[in-house]
Chain A
Amino acid sequence: MSQIILYSVLTLGVAAAAFATILYVTARKFSVEEDPRVSEVTEMLPGINCGACGFPGCSGMASALVDAADSGDISHLNCPPGGQETMKNIGRYFGLDAGDIKPTVAVLRCGGSCELAPAKSNYDGPKSCALAHSTFAGESGCPIGCLMHGDCEVACPFGAISMNPVTGLPEVDEEKCTSCGACVTACPRNLFEIRPVGRKSRRVWVNCRNTEPAIVAKRNCAVACIGCGLCKKTCDNIVQAITIENNLAYIDPDKCIGCGKCVPVCPTNAIVATFEPPKPKPKKTVKEPAAT
């Protein structure tokens, strides 16, 4: 009986010692040298691995930050989901200035809802914007209008996009959006744009990308931009943020001050704002002198 116990203990003990030695030796021999700062910076990042920074995952960004810090400047790097707070923390860690990064958000540039750009034909195929785009111009006839199949909703890793069942258009939740750019890539018609959030979330943009001539564009959508230039005329007196090219107006987000004066002048309501725009002042009329 005691012999069995002795042999068992000996065999298992020897086996354990052998495995422990092998493990120890391999761990030492194959260990990877890593700058300890990389893992520390990785901890400071959100850990979502969305790729919005342009690097492969948060550890990729951390390596880039460490390299940048070693050359003295990290202000050109930004983590959109982490935002200003994360970058300031990392800046403090390296003792460098993180730079002032404007927060951004994804914006849909199409107002062609089911009501305003009614369907004239029926798409019969898989629920995929990429496929619908290659099949035909779209149910409304506008070749650059939202196809409403939700490729953007599926692509968003943060659940920030949801398809509105009434309008049919995608809506971006400003709180959840991290400007990672997945929707920009997913939309086959390039309808999303990453624009600055704006001071107090005030932003204005042209809700259309149609470059067709006015008659054609209006045939398909009630709120299409017709390139009439009234918005440009208005803004030329303020900050000159609006340009017209190929029958389409564009508001430069870096110049726009969010006053909203262009919104009410648009004859087709193609310009939208996230706030109530100012009502246009009634034109001054010259008073007839009172008859004496």
Chain B
Amino acid sequence: MSTQAARDGLIVALPPHERSDVSVARIMWSVVLALVPTTLVGVYFYGLRALAVTLVAVGSSVVVEHLIVRYLFHRETTTITDGSAVVTGMLLAFNVPAGIPLWQIVVGAVIAIGVAKMAFGGIGNNPFNPALVGRAFMLVSFPVDMTTWPVPGAHGFAAWNLDAVTAATPLGLIKEAAGGGLAAIADQLPSYGSLFIGNVGGCIGEVSALAVLIGGLFLIWRGFIPWMVPFVYLAGLAVVTGVAWLIDPTTYIDPLYHILAGGAMLGAWFMVTDMTTSPMSILGQIVFAGAAGILAGVIRLFGGFPEGVSYSILIMNAFVPVIDRHIKPRKFGYGKTAPSKGGA
């Protein structure tokens, strides 16, 4: 006499017995999809070399993660199917010039995945943005290759060697022409239109603000990134550079240019919004993004490097635990609307 309902035994679990269909894989692959426009623009302007760099970056990130998870951690299943290594690989590729020697990007991927991500315990445990850590490492290790930017369209689509025609980035030019020198380089600086579309020198992913924007808006529509955060970051950058521009427009270029040039757009939409390395409350994220934007502006204007986005985000990543400790979401039943005694 069996009172049991099924021969194989019913499943018993604590409630809830429903789950939403959003998974880590879905989120990560959506980010990959959002990065496709930037990839296409990068390939359009820099040719197949850019595609090679991207593919090698993604490939080595995935391989490194797989090897570490299966053979170092001895886990039974691999984690590469969740797509997060692909995202890191793509973002790393977008932070280097298209002509970079391929072996160097492999090194970058090993550092980004192996050190910045897996050494802390894998996805969700890393305090610093892995792609930015990889990029920072590469900049310090390969300073020349990381600052040699091929001119877009000057080499032919299938060209492999891109150092025939190189030029400084717009931000580089602006930094060099200090002390009232903007007028002198005005004709060398690309127009707003070029910055927006992408016909400008720089790292693969830094060139087209439009492509990044399309991807970013897609992620907002899917609900995977908070809509305020990119705007707050850009606002922070705009405020700092705006004040400088107002004080001395001959030396400092206007804030709109700053937003469109360099890695500001990529950083705002894809780096500052990285889930693992940003705070857990909306207000915390706004503080995080605002401070990072301000820092980016400060580094761009007064730091030794022409580009401050990577460092601004890495520095703010270090403050995330502090932000989380002090800025918390509003709890139900603790505020002024909650009378503590008696009737209404």
Q: Contact residues of A with B, CB < 8 Å?
A: 119-125, 131, 134-136, 139
Docked CA distance A136–B12 (Å) = 8
Docked CA distance A123–B10 (Å) = 9
Docked CA distance A121–B11 (Å) = 6
Shortest distance from the beta carbon of A145 to any chain B beta carbon, whole Å: 14
Q: Are B14 and A122 in contact (CB under 8 A)?
A: no
In the complex, the chain A residue whose C-beta lies closest to that of B15 is: A135
Query: 8 Å CB contacts to A: which residues of B73-122?
Result: none
Docked CA distance A104–B8 (Å) = 42
Docked CA distance A120–B5 (Å) = 9
Q: Are B9 and A124 in contact (CB under 8 A)?
A: no
At the interface, yes or no: B344 with Cβ under 8 Å from chain A?
no
In the complex, the chain B residue whose C-beta lies closest to that of A134 is: B14
Nearest first, the 10 A-B pairs at minimum CB distance are: A124-B13, A121-B9, A122-B11, A135-B14, A124-B11, A121-B12, A122-B9, A121-B10, A136-B12, A120-B4
Docked CA distance A125–B14 (Å) = 7
Contacts of B14 in A (CB 8 A): 125, 131, 134-135
Shortest distance from the beta carbon of B18 to any chain A beta carbon, whole Å: 14
Contacts of B8 in A (CB 8 A): 122
Contacts of B9 in A (CB 8 A): 119-122, 139
Q: Are B13 and A125 in contact (CB under 8 A)?
A: yes
Residue tally, chain B, CB below 8 Å to A: 8
Contacts of B10 in A (CB 8 A): 121-122
Docked CA distance A34–B185 (Å) = 77
Contacts of A136 in B (CB 8 A): 12
Docked CA distance A121–B9 (Å) = 4
Q: Are B4 and A123 in contact (CB under 8 A)?
A: no
Docked CA distance A124–B11 (Å) = 6
Query: 8 Å CB contacts to A: which residues of B1-53?
Result: 4, 8-14
Which of B8, B11, B13, B14 is most buried by chain A, counting CB atoms within 10 A of its CB?
Answer: B14
Shortest distance from the beta carbon of A156 to any chain B beta carbon, whole Å: 24
Contacts of A119 in B (CB 8 A): 9
Shortest distance from the beta carbon of A13 to any chain B beta carbon, whole Å: 40
From the candidates A120, A134, A135, name the one contacting B13 in the complex (CB within 8 A): A135
The 15 listed contacts between A and B (C-beta, < 8 Å) are A120-B9, A121-B11, A121-B12, A122-B8, A122-B9, A122-B12, A123-B13, A124-B11, A124-B12, A125-B14, A131-B14, A135-B12, A135-B13, A135-B14, A139-B12
In the complex, the chain B residue whose C-beta lies closest to that of A138 is: B12
In the complex, the chain A residue whose C-beta lies closest to that of B10 is: A121
Which of A119, A120, A123, A124 is most buried by chain B, counting CB atoms within 10 A of its CB?
Answer: A120
Shortest distance from the beta carbon of B16 to any chain A beta carbon, whole Å: 12
Q: Are B13 and A121 in contact (CB under 8 A)?
A: no
Contacts of A139 in B (CB 8 A): 9, 12
Additional 19 contacts, C-beta under 8 A, given A121-B10, A135-B14, A136-B12 = A119-B9, A120-B4, A120-B9, A121-B4, A121-B9, A121-B12, A122-B8, A122-B10, A123-B12, A124-B11, A124-B12, A125-B13, A125-B14, A131-B14, A134-B14, A135-B12, A135-B13, A139-B9, A139-B12
In the complex, the chain A residue whose C-beta lies closest to that of B9 is: A121
Shortest distance from the beta carbon of A219 to any chain B beta carbon, whole Å: 9
Docked CA distance A123–B13 (Å) = 6
Shortest distance from the beta carbon of A113 to any chain B beta carbon, whole Å: 17
Docked CA distance A139–B12 (Å) = 9
Docked CA distance A131–B15 (Å) = 12
In the complex, the chain A residue whose C-beta lies closest to that of B14 is: A135
Docked CA distance A123–B14 (Å) = 9
In the complex, the chain B residue whose C-beta lies closest to that of A137 is: B12
Shortest distance from the beta carbon of B229 to any chain A beta carbon, whole Å: 33
Contacts of B13 in A (CB 8 A): 123-125, 135
Contacts of A122 in B (CB 8 A): 8-12
Docked CA distance A119–B9 (Å) = 8
Shortest distance from the beta carbon of B13 to any chain A beta carbon, whole Å: 4
Shortest distance from the beta carbon of A134 to any chain B beta carbon, whole Å: 8
Docked CA distance A120–B11 (Å) = 10
Shortest distance from the beta carbon of B9 to any chain A beta carbon, whole Å: 5
Shortest distance from the beta carbon of B45 to any chain A beta carbon, whole Å: 50
Docked CA distance A149–B10 (Å) = 19
In the complex, the chain B residue whose C-beta lies closest to that of A135 is: B14
Docked CA distance A120–B4 (Å) = 7
Docked CA distance A119–B4 (Å) = 11
Docked CA distance A136–B14 (Å) = 9
Docked CA distance A123–B9 (Å) = 10
Docked CA distance A135–B15 (Å) = 9
Contacts of A131 in B (CB 8 A): 14
Shortest distance from the beta carbon of A217 to any chain B beta carbon, whole Å: 15
Which of A119, A131, A135 is most buried by chain B, counting CB atoms within 10 A of its CB?
Answer: A135
Shortest distance from the beta carbon of B151 to any chain A beta carbon, whole Å: 55
Docked CA distance A73–B256 (Å) = 84
In the complex, the chain B residue whose C-beta lies closest to that of A136 is: B12
Shortest distance from the beta carbon of B7 to any chain A beta carbon, whole Å: 10
In the complex, the chain B residue whose C-beta lies closest to that of A118 is: B9
Shortest distance from the beta carbon of B15 to any chain A beta carbon, whole Å: 10
Docked CA distance A89–B11 (Å) = 56
Query: 8 Å CB contacts to A: which residues of B221-264?
Result: none
Shortest distance from the beta carbon of A220 to any chain B beta carbon, whole Å: 11
Shortest distance from the beta carbon of B269 to any chain A beta carbon, whole Å: 36
Docked CA distance A121–B2 (Å) = 13
Shortest distance from the beta carbon of A280 to any chain B beta carbon, whole Å: 33
Shortest distance from the beta carbon of A215 to any chain B beta carbon, whole Å: 11
Docked CA distance A92–B13 (Å) = 57
Docked CA distance A136–B10 (Å) = 12
Docked CA distance A236–B4 (Å) = 41
Shortest distance from the beta carbon of A135 to any chain B beta carbon, whole Å: 5
Contacts of B12 in A (CB 8 A): 121-124, 135-136, 139
